Every structure is written in structure tokens, then in C-alpha cells.
Amino acid sequence: MIILAIVSLILPGFYLGIPIMAGLAHRPAPGKLRYSDAQQSGTQAGAILARLSETMDTTDLGLLRSRLKGVVHLAGIGEDPVKEYVWVMSEFLGNMTQIETKLNQTHAFLASGDRRQAKEDLDQLERLRDEAKPLLSSLPGLLSEVEDYYKVDASAQRQKVLELQSVFSEYSVEIGKLESELQVQQGLIYTMLTLSSSMQLVFVEESLSVHGALEMQNGTALAGRNITLSWDWNMTLMRTTDFSGKFEADLSFPVGAEAGSNAIQAKFEPQGSDGSVYLGCRATLEVQVAYWPSVIKAEVKPATSRPLDPVEVSGILLGPGGIPLNGKVIEVNFDNSSLGNAVTDATGHFLLGFQVPTSASNGTHSLTVAFVPALDRYSGSNLTLTLTVELPGTRTEMLLDRTRVFSGTVLTLNGTVRLANGTAWRYGRVHVYLDDSLLTNAVVMEDGAFLLAVQVPPNASFGFHTVRVQYSPDEAWVGGSEVVAQVYVYNTLVLVIAVAGVAAASSSGAYAIVRSRRAAKLPPPELFGPPPIMRPPTREEYSTESLTAAIQAEHDDAAKVRRSYRLAQSLLEQGTGEVPRGSETHWEYFSRIASKSPQLADRLRRLVELYELAEYSQFPIGADHSREAMEIVLRLRERV
Amino acid sequence: MRLRTRIITLASAVALILILSTAYYWPVQDEYHPLNEEWNGCSKVVNASRNSTLLFSYGEALAEHTLFAIVGPGLGFSQKEAAYVRIFLESGGTVLLADDIGKGNSLLESLAVPARFSGQLIDDLLYYSKRPDFPLITDFSASPLTDNVTAVLMNRPSFLQVENSSVVAVIASSSLFSFVVENGGGQPGANEMLQSYPVMASVRIGKGLLVLVSDPSVFTNEMIDFYDNMRLFRNILRIGGGSIAFDVGHIARASLTDLRTQFRTEIDSIRSSLLFSTWGVYTQSLIVAAIVLALFLHVRRNANIRTPGKKGQAFYAHSSSAAPG
């Protein structure tokens, strides 16, 4: 009863009260993510470059710079080419913004004749220009890295970089003019240099003829002066002007030169005594540099295959005019992962065989065949082919030993894993979930079968639950599968509590009914009038016959002994006035009677002994004992 | 008292103690709650001030030099509550209203502020930490609120729709690579624009200042330690006067949170009184003495009662029916 009471009150407190209260005490948070749980995500280079190109107004570098401020706070600048590109761009724009400001200041100082301050500013401008130049020159390379790393098209951004190069060139020219202006203010003769070329578009390693002239501000030619021609960052050439101040040179852009707009600069720097007479000057010529084009043609056989199947990629690489290109390296990529390289033969043909990667998923994949030149006069070319991969699918079948279970008991699952064509498949594991909670997992046996005994969680609630068996193959190139079944769960704990509660309630109800019936048998108390006079039993009521009959009426000997003892107590109460007390034991009762009536002690002791045996021991009470007890009662009657 | 009654009483008492203990020790887990010490609570910003008050309802006037922080309101504001805030603002107070779901708009409407919380979440493609859900705000305009603040980390913020920029001063904006989240976030949809959105603004109302932040998560326990989030909060707190009154009344919280908060406060108060006050020590001594005396009396009484008494008692109770016939 004690355990029942504790179980029926405390356990519901645990299993119902606390969870309910916990629900009331806790409001689940809405969709905010926890920062420490968040995983790094990849950079979406294409969208970033596109947005950058949209918003890059190269006519307002200050605004552009302000839009990119704070880029230094981005994590992983050194590891992510996109972030590095944006950071370098931001740094370059910072320098350009300062150059813009300083140019205006220097103009103002020159206009006011403050040559000392103008000289200081010009020095700063040259420093800023020298810092900005390598930043600008690194942008195209970074864009190439971005394109290679993320396989995105950065042509729009390249165009913006060209615009920035143009702005930078303008600022460089402006700085040069300011230098000249400062020198003119210092009393030197102004000179002019012109520069032109035979063509505007030149291929690498193709000869380009440039020519120009040097003259004074009044148009007088300057003969015998050295002109330095520089191009492609580090290529230089020196020519001397003829009698008419003219000069010419043949030059070419080497392999490795940046494709696109390139500047050729001619510079006259007065030397010796000319330094105190003439003012230096520069001229810049923009030409478009291009690499010789190449074309790649290729095919893949077979176009549809399964993992580990052999596949061949073959094709031809052609140069301008359809000439085959010999000894060129062709890279083949499968979904951006390199499969290997092939080299073209004398006829320009190439062939690469490979096995379809086991990591390939089901569906269409891209196969990129690319000629990526390294220090080559030919430009790269590529071609994207498609290869369809078909993964063998699997089918999982399962049988449950029963569909209704008690929580905490064991449920047996028996099943098999087969390929789509019905062949048993063994490589992998099966995971068993009950309502998305993982219960167990096991390795699939050789014949594709699995046998699992899972324990239904003891706290599984009443109702239908989903048993899901998920097959995860060891080989990534085999498709997984799963099978789902429903089981009805009876929560054992709740059932036990309910049964215990019902039992407790039934017991309490039965007890209450018995008590109420007993109470109904008692005569109703009289509410008014004098208290009833308790009439002592008459001697006739304790006659030998009535006592014998009362004792013999009991159903067994032990009951007869107990009845004898109680009749003896009643007799003694009437005879001696000693009322039995509820708080005393039978021996305490004996002691009290024996002290008052010693003559009854011997008989009463034996009766008490018999009573003790009948009431409190397992001792078998026989007819002799009951008869002895009855005789003692009859003797006591006589004495009393 | 009968044995059965005693057992039931004892079991009930144990169950009650269990439930009350749970109510006391179960941590407050409501988002933005100042007593929530977990990652999504605001206990750190409340503790950042030397003098903090929790405001469960708008009644008593707030003290001067107090920052009235309304962070993550999950319930709307009545006209009466808006009037209360207006009075506080007009008298020179500072109010921080950080919201992302738009519940603070009812307050802005009542205060006639020409700005609204959009209720739409934004991510950022480039300026983020870890993933686009955590935009990094680096574009700040010059303001005492953003002194020495160069980067603030947000957690799925919304943005502000400023209707009149001459009244509402935008003090921080997302980068021009941010976009409104429509389909689960992470990357913009085909027709979504990448653009900069205002995420912080301030409005002068009377002598006071209303600061709007479109992401309450900036001030949660986890986010407050990253980048310049705490510096931003300290700037707001400094302008507010150094003390903070945190609005709990508008946080969407579980139904038992307030009751448990009150219960915990009372228990803490009683416990501290019992442990540390003079009369508390005397009371404890008296209780201990009473328990010892009760135990002594109980043992002595039991010493006089010996079993078995049940059968004899039953007989005595029914002795009148023991007579034959």
C-alpha cells in the first residue's frame, strides 16, 4: 500500500507534472540560428562578382571605396580568392581616392605659386602611384584565380579592371603633367613626344613597329636625344632621335604578357647639360595584345555509364587556320575534379581513358576538356561535354515480428537488401529509427539479409510510431534505400501506473463499501432522551450450552480457540469488572487478571497460551486444543 | 492521523516539493529574457550596467539617466504604453528598440516615427561571418552611438524602412551584397536584388533619443561578445545615462515564466533573509529546537505503544457482539 501510494502520487509528478510544467516554463525559440553551431558556408563568387560589376561606377572612386569599406573584417581573406580580390580592390581604391584628392591640392598649390608645397604633394602622389600600381597589376591575376577556383566567368569584372587601369593611366599622366608644370615654373623648356604604331591589335611574339618624334614646345625638332621605350612592365628599349627628331623601333610582347589593353610608353629624360635646359616628357600608346586562338573538339564514349566503367575522351586541338597543335597538354575534369592530362600528338589528336569515379552521383555530370596553356603563344580553349552516370539502386524489405508492442520490450526486424535487379546486396549498414530517433544499426549479412532486435524506448508514448530502416551502402556509387512500417506502442509505465491506480481505487472503494455496510448494521444512535442503560449479560446467556454452542459454531479449531479466549474475557469482565484494554497485549491482560484474581491464573495462563498459538503462530491447532480451550472457558464460568 | 492518510500526505508533499524545486531551478529559457543566461538570453547586457531594473509593466516613471531597452518585443504596444514611452522620451530619456519581426511597429506608429521594421530577414553574400545568415555590418555613419564601432555581427536581421530620412537618421547599413531572404536564405532568388539596407537608425523625440536596431540578436549573450557588438551597446548605454530598465513585459515568454521569476525572487529573498539576518538565525534556531522536541516526544510516545494492538483493539471495539447468541 505504501509503495502504491508513493508510485501513484510521485511518479505522475515526474512523468506528467514536471514535463507539463516544463512545457509551460519554456517557450521554444523561433528560427534564430546559434552562431557557435553554424558551419562555414562556401562563397558565391559568381553572384558577388556580378553585383560588384553592377555597382562599380569607376567615375566615382570615393563612393566605390566607401561601399567596400570594412572588407578587412572578413575572415579568410588570404584563403578565398574572391575575398582577396575585393580586399585588393578596396586597397587600390583607397590609394586612388587619395591620389584624386592630392591631385586637386597640387593643382591649387601650383596655381598659387606655392612650389614647395606642390613639390611635397607631388612626392606623395608619386609614392601613392607606385603603391597603387602593383595592386592594380595584381587584380587580373586574382580574377584568373577566382575563375579557376570557382569556375565562374569574371569577364565583366575584367572590363571594370580595364576601366580602372584607364583611370590610373589618366592619373599617372596627370601626375606627369604636374611634374612638368612644376619644372616649367622652375624655368625649363617644355618638350613634346609623340608615339604611334603600325597596328592596334598585336599577337604575342608578333613584331610591332612603333615610331614617334621629339620636339620643343615651339615645334623645333630635338635630334640625338635618347628615347626610352617600355612595355609589358619590364621590357625596355632605347632609341636615339634622328636629325628630324624622329625615332622608330620594332618590338613584340613576350609570352606571358597580359592579354588585353597594354601600354607602350616612350620617355625622354634630359641627361647631362640638357637637364638644366629641357623639361622631360612622356608619351603613351595603348595597343591590344592577344594570344593566338586555339579550338578544341572532343567527344566522350560511352555517354552513359556506371561507376567504375571505363570511359574515353578523345579529340583534336587546332590552332589558327586549322593547323594541328602538337605537344599541348589537355586537362580533363569531371565535375571540377581533375581526371588527368593528355598530350596532343603531331596531328593534334589526344585520348584519355578513365574510370567513372565511385563518388559520382546519379544523373548528368560535366566533363570539361580544356587546353590550359602555360607560357604558350596560344590562348586556352575548352569544351564541356556531358556524361550521364547511372547508379544501381537498392531496395530494402522488412518484416516485423509484431505490429503492437509494449514500450521497453524488444521488437524483431527481419529483412533483406537487394539491388534493383533483385540481386542480394551486402555491403553496407542498416540503421533503424523510431520516429527519427536512431535505435540501432547493423551490418548487412552476406546474403543481403539483416536481423535486428531493437528495444522500444521505455518512454515511447501511446499510439502509432514509425519504424524506419535505412540502408546506407558502403560504396557511394550504390544508391541507398529505406523502408517504413508502423507499430502501435503501449506505454508500459503508464499502463502499470493505471493498473495500480485502478487497483488502489478498487481496494479503497471496496473498503469504503464494507465499512458503510457495517455502519448500516449498527442501531442508529438515539439523539434525544437519556443514555441507554447497558444491561450486563445474564447468567443464562453464559450457560454451558450457549458457550459450547458459540464455540462449536466456529468453523475450525483455531477459530474455536480464539472464540474461547474472547468468551473468557467477557466472562471475566462480568465477573471481576476488569475490562480488556485495546492497548494491551494478551500477556499484559493475563498479568492484570492474575494480579487481581490469582485463583484464575493457572487456567487463564493455559488459555492465553492456546490463544497465542492460534492467533500469532503457524502451530497447527487441533481438536484437542480447541476442546481444552472450551473446557477452560467452562471451568472459568464456574469459578466466576 | 491514520497511516494511509499519512502516506498520501507525505507523497503529496514530496510531489509538491519536486514540482516547486523544478519551478525554482529550471532555467529561464525565453528568448531575449534578461534572466536567461543561455545563448539566446540577454543577461549579459543587463549585467553590463551597474544599475538595472526589470520592467514587467509600464507603471512607475523611469528614473533619469536610464536607458529603456526594449529588445525583441513579441507583443504589440498599446496606446497607453506608447504614451508612457513618449513621456520618457520627451523628458530626455533614451530608448533602445531592437526588433526583427515587426512587433515594435505599433510603438513607432503611436510615436509617429516615419520608420518601420520591415519584418523581412536579410542575408549577405560577402560581408558575413561563417555564413550569409550572420551579416557583418561595417557601414556606419558618424555618430556618438557608433564611436569606435567598425563591425557589428547580426543574426538574420530584418531591415528598416525609413520613410523620411530628414527625421530618421540612418546610422548603419548592410553591405551592398545583402538581399532579402525568401526561400530559406543562403542565396538570393533569381529576381532578388542585392542592395544595401538600413539596419540601425536614430530619431530625436523631444529631448530624448530613440535608437532603432533591426536585429535584437545583436544583444543576446552569444552575439554580444563578437566584433564590436558590446561596444555598440555600451555606447547606447552611455548615451542613455548608464542605468538600464529592461522591458520584460513585451517579451514573448512562456506562461509560467513570470510566476517562476516572482517565486524565485521571493525564495531568494527569504533565503538570504534566513541566512544572513539576525532574526533569521534566531528563527532557524527555534525551528531546529522545535524539530528536536517533536522528535523526542514522538519517540517517547511510541515507546509506550507495543504491537500487536490491532486485534485487541478490534475485539474491544466490538466486544458487545462477542456474547454468544
Residue in chain A nearest B127 by alpha carbon: A74
Residues A506, A421: contact at Cβ < 8 Å?
no
Is position A507 within any domain? Answer: no
Same domain as A621, residue A560: yes
Predicted TM-score of the model (pTM):
0.53
A2 touches B at CB < 8 Å: yes
Q: Using the beta-carbon criterion (under 8 Å), do B175 and A70 form an inter-chain contact?
A: yes
Q: Which of A125, A157, A187 is the last residue of a domain?
A: A187
A544 touches B at CB < 8 Å: no
> How near does any CA of chain A get to the CA of B244, in Å?
24
Nearest by CB to A69, from B138, B255, B324: name it: B138
Q: What percent of chain B has pLDDT over 90?
A: 54
Same domain as A57, residue A170: yes
CA distances from B86 to A553, B78, B81, B206, B244 (A): 95, 12, 9, 9, 17
Residue in chain A nearest B258 by alpha carbon: A25
Nearest by CB to B324, from A2, A550, A586: name it: A550
Most confident of the ranges A416-420, A547-551, B189-193, B197-201: B197-201
For chain B, which residues make up each domain, given as ranges? 25-262
CB pairs under 8 A between A and B: 197
Q: Which residues of A touch B305 (CB under 8 A)?
A: 583
Q: Cα B50–B39–B55 angle (5° rounding)?
A: 45
Give the closest residue to A569 by CA, choosing from A599, A548, A542. Answer: A542
- DSSP 3-state assignment of B297? helix
> How near does any CA of chain A get to the CA of B63, in Å?
31
- DSSP 3-state assignment of A619? coil
Q: What is the pLDDT of residue B324?
A: 46
Q: Which residues of A touch B186 (CB under 8 A)?
A: 41
User: What's the rounded Cα separation, in Å, for the pair B147 and B162?
Assistant: 23
User: What's the rounded Cα separation, in Å, for the pair A163 and A62?
Assistant: 15
Q: How many CB atoms lie within 10 A of CB B227?
A: 21
Which of B177, B226, B258 should be substituted to probe chain A, the one whose Cβ sees the most A Cβ atoms within 10 Å?
B177
Q: Which residues of B touch A570 (CB under 8 A)?
A: 319, 322-323
A567 touches B at CB < 8 Å: yes
Q: How many CB atoms lie within 10 A of CB B42?
A: 29
pLDDT at residue B325 greater than cutoff 70: no
User: Running along chain A, 640 residues long, what does each successive block of 10 average in pLDDT?
Assistant: 58 58 56 78 84 82 82 82 90 92 90 83 91 90 89 88 90 88 79 91 92 91 93 88 94 88 90 83 91 93 87 93 91 88 93 87 88 87 90 86 89 88 82 86 86 86 87 79 89 79 72 67 51 53 84 89 90 84 87 87 89 88 91 86
Q: What is the DSSP letter of A256?
A: T
The CATH code that applies to domain B25-262 is 3.40.50
Same domain as A404, residue A367: no
Higher pLDDT, B318 or A250: A250
Range of the domain at A349: 295-389
CA distances from B22 to A19, A462, A508 (A): 10, 26, 32
Same domain as A354, residue A478: no
Query: What are the cell numbers at A162?
Result: 580595364
Higher pLDDT, A113 or B113: B113
Q: Using the beta-carbon criterion (under 8 Å), do B155 and A33 form an inter-chain contact?
A: yes
Q: Which residues of A touch B253 (CB under 8 A)?
A: 27
Same domain as A473, residue A423: yes
DSSP-derived secondary structure for A360-395: PPSEEEEEEEEE--SS-SBPPEEEEEEEEE-PPPEE
A560 touches B at CB < 8 Å: no
Residue in chain B nearest A544 by alpha carbon: B324
Residue in chain B nearest A30 by alpha carbon: B31
Same domain as A401, residue A421: yes
Residue type, A197: S
Q: Which of A187, A222, A237 is the last residue of a domain?
A: A187
Q: What is the pLDDT of residue B313?
A: 43
User: What's the rounded Cα separation, in Å, for the pair B265 and B119?
Assistant: 35
Q: Using the beta-carbon criterion (under 8 Å), do A567 and B324 form an inter-chain contact?
A: yes
> How near does any CA of chain B get to the CA of A205, in Å?
40
Same domain as A558, residue A439: no
> How near does any CA of chain B get to the CA of A90, in Å?
13
- DSSP 3-state assignment of A518? helix
User: What's the rounded Cα separation, in Å, for the pair B248 and A134?
Assistant: 56
Is position A461 within any domain? Answer: yes
Residue type, A21: M
Same domain as A443, residue A352: no
User: What's the rounded Cα separation, in Å, for the pair A591 and A605?
Assistant: 9
Same domain as A385, residue A398: no
Residue in chain B nearest A586 by alpha carbon: B312
Q: Using the beta-carbon criterion (under 8 Å), do B134 and A35 form an inter-chain contact?
A: yes
CA distances from A357 to A461, A629, B144 (A): 46, 102, 59
Q: In the Cβ-directed half-sphere of A488, how many Cα atoms lie within 13 Å?
A: 2
Same domain as A321, residue A413: no
Q: Using the beta-carbon criterion (under 8 Å), do B18 and A13 form an inter-chain contact?
A: yes
CA distances from B61 to A599, A625, B45, B58, B76 (A): 95, 93, 22, 8, 20
How many whole angstroms from its chain centre is CA A252?
A: 55
Q: Please report where in the chains the cell 586637386 appears, as a residue.
A: A104
Number of domains into which chain A is organized: 4
CA distances from A507 to A500, A592, B91 (A): 10, 39, 71
Same domain as A398, residue A359: no
Q: Using the beta-carbon criterion (under 8 Å), do B313 and A12 form an inter-chain contact?
A: no
Instruction: Give A 14-73 residues with CB within 8 A of chain B.
Output: 14, 17-18, 21-27, 29-36, 38-41, 43-44, 47-48, 51, 54-55, 66-67, 69-71, 73
Q: Which residues of B touch A40 (CB under 8 A)?
A: 130-131
> How near does any CA of chain B get to the CA of A162, in Å?
22
Q: Note the ipTM here.
A: 0.76
Q: Which residues of A touch B7 (CB under 8 A)?
A: 1-2, 5-6
Q: Which of A389, A418, A453 is the last residue of a domain?
A: A389
SS (H, E, C) A538-597: CCCCCCHHHHHHHHHCCCCHHHHHHHHHHHHHHHHHHHHCCCCCCCCCHHHHHHHHHHHC
Which of A9, A85, A542, A585 should be substituted to probe chain B, the one whose Cβ sees the most B Cβ atoms within 10 Å?
A9
> How near does any CA of chain A get to the CA of B278, in Å?
35
Same domain as A475, residue A425: yes
What region, left, alpha or beta, does residue A174 occupy, with left being phi > 0 and alpha being psi -120 to 50 degrees? alpha
State mean pLDDT over B249-273: 83
Q: Using the beta-carbon criterion (under 8 Å), do A5 and B7 form an inter-chain contact?
A: yes
Residues B72, B99: contact at Cβ < 8 Å?
yes
Q: Using the beta-carbon criterion (under 8 Å), do B156 and A580 form an inter-chain contact?
A: no
A533 touches B at CB < 8 Å: no
CATH number at residue A422: 2.60.40.1930
Instruction: Give A 595-624 residues with CB within 8 A of chain B.
Output: 615-616
Is position A617 within any domain? Answer: yes
State mean pLDDT over B66-76: 94
Q: Using the beta-carbon criterion (under 8 Å), do A27 and B254 form an inter-chain contact?
A: yes
